[in-house]
Structure 1
């Protein structure tokens, strides 16, 4: 069975320089691991206020963050063949500010954060050093395959 991704995109911000649906889908598909046969994901790009409210209400942190991942796996029965289901929320002003502060192209940072969120949807995490190492290696592999620089590269290191 070939992998298939149904992607819905919602834009709730007036920010400019946002990636389009085709680009988002390419990045999301690249992040799907072989075990995932089907996925249905919504990517919502929001302003700082909505990002702050979601982060506060769902994570208890009262500030806007770059990406939030909402997986529906825990709320559903274990049914063979059920697609990967989830939502990713990208906060446009935070993504733009981080890209500028890190000296990265905006598209590269959006790509990295979308890949990061897609990996979270598939069960990857970075709660401890070993998990973080695995997840960051995957992110680097996927993002560089898509033509962007290693998102964890430190340009100040000789």
Structure 2
């Protein structure tokens, strides 16, 4: 695995999973799927708890509650038109793609409620967050359809089931 993802663990629950390996695998698969070389990029990942992510969600999104994952792209990369793939970053300029925060409490609870392993759920959420760092979004329906299709393809390449199928 590369040094693509710099993981900082703040919450003890994360000791239950091999987060460094999961994050690297998910991020590398996401970048390779989109034709980007993982060794050209850097991502910071904060592994925290619900209290910390609720504070971040309040500060940056004005939503004072916990969430599963947040992302902060280093640059605005979103597509201008609905359903259009965002322009990918060019290697060699700025290797930093952005920052991700992920909450153990919410991730573990969601995985349990869905009857899936925490590892599989965390892998999905990191893929989701990496796509956000690359300009993908799910606010508009067409963008959500595009982003979910990319997630399903990446997770399929990793041998994981479609998280959106019922």
Q: TM-score range by the shorter chain?
A: 0.7 to 0.9
d(CA) in 1 for partners of 2:45, 2:100: 5
d(CA) in 2 for partners of 1:69, 1:23: 17
**Runs of at least 4 residues off by over 3 Å:** none
Instruction: Tell me the TM-score normalised to structure 2 length.
Output: 0.82
Match of 1:105 in 2: 117
Match of 1:60 in 2: 62
Report the more deviating stretch, 88-97 or 9-18. 9-18
d(CA) in 2 for partners of 1:18, 1:50: 19
Indicate if the aligned counterparts of 1:17 and 1:106 stay in contact, CA closer than 8 A: no
1:140 aligns with 2:152: yes
Indicate if the aligned counterparts of 1:52 and 1:63 stay in contact, CA closer than 8 A: yes
Instruction: Tell me the TM-score normalised to structure 1 length.
Output: 0.86
SS of the equivalent of 2:4 reads strand
Match of 1:25 in 2: 24
RMSD between superposed Cα atoms in Å: 2.0
Alignment CA distance shift 1:126-1:36 (3 Å)? farther
d(CA) in 2 for partners of 1:110, 1:19: 10
Unmatched segments (≥5 aa) in structure 2 = 77-89
Unmatched segments (≥5 aa) in structure 1 = none
User: Which residue among 19, 22, 46 is the counterpart of 1:44?
Assistant: 46
Indicate if the aligned counterparts of 1:45 and 1:91 stay in contact, CA closer than 8 A: yes
d(CA) in 1 for partners of 2:149, 2:92: 29
Match of 1:11 in 2: 9
Instruction: Return the structure number with greater strand share.
Output: 1
SS of the equivalent of 1:63 reads coil
Equivalenced residue count is 148
Match of 2:82 in 1: none
